[in-house]
Each structure stands twice: as C-alpha cells, then as structure tokens.
Amino acid sequence: MRLMGYTTEEVMGHSLLQEFITDGLQTAVQAVLVGALRVEDTANFEFPLITKAGTHIEVLLNATTQHDDQGKVSGVVGIGQDITAHLAQERDSTS
C-alpha cells in the first residue's frame, strides 16, 4: 500500500475493493482475487487504484495462490507495480 501513500496501519481492516478500487472495476478485481484463491494465478492484470491524495494510478497486478505445508490454500499474494508513467509514455509516443 506504500505505492498508494498509505501506511500498513492505515489500511489494516479496510476493504481493498470497496475503498481503493474504482467502482467500475471492483467486480473484475474481485474475480482476479477469488480466482487466485481457486488456484488460478493471474499475471498482468491492469487497473487503476485511488491514492491517499485522491489521484488515480495505473497498476499492473500479479496474483498468486499461497499454500500451507499440507498443500491447502492459505492465501493470496498480490504484487502491484505502478505503470502510470509507462502508459503515459506509450500514449505520447503513439500520438
């Protein structure tokens, strides 16, 4: 959540989907996270996040299922990369 300007303490107990994902993409992001819990890893899913300052950044998400010692799903690790500048550069080079 550092990418968005928040500390761990500020986001613990809050809903990623409801509070940090734009309305139109909440269902799609939820599907990626639920899919990861069903052992469906997702690579390179792009979506905007809302920062603490209220601006939007474009994020590239990779979600991977994590397993415990018995092979049971224990959670999901999501890694997001800010690709806002990269996308802006691509738009500039094509216009």
| Model pLDDT for residues 9-18, shown as the tens digit of each residue | 988 898 888 8
What integer is the mean pLDDT of 59-85? 89
Q: Which residue has the higher pLDDT, 40 or 67?
A: 67
Could you give phi then psi for residue 76, rounded to 5 degrees? -130, 135
Long-range contacts of 54-60 (CB under 8 A, 24+ apart): 56/22, 57/3, 57/4, 57/82, 57/84, 58/82, 58/83, 58/84, 58/87, 59/3, 59/83
Res. 68: pLDDT tops 90: yes
Q: What is the dihedral of CA 55, 56, 60, 65, to 10 degrees?
A: 80
pLDDT at 1: 64
DSSP assignment, residue 22?
-
* Pairing outcome for strands 73-82 and 56-67: antiparallel
Segment 49-59, tens digit of pLDDT: 888 998 889 99
Q: What is the mean pLDDT of the chain?
A: 86
Residue 69, pLDDT > 90, answer yes
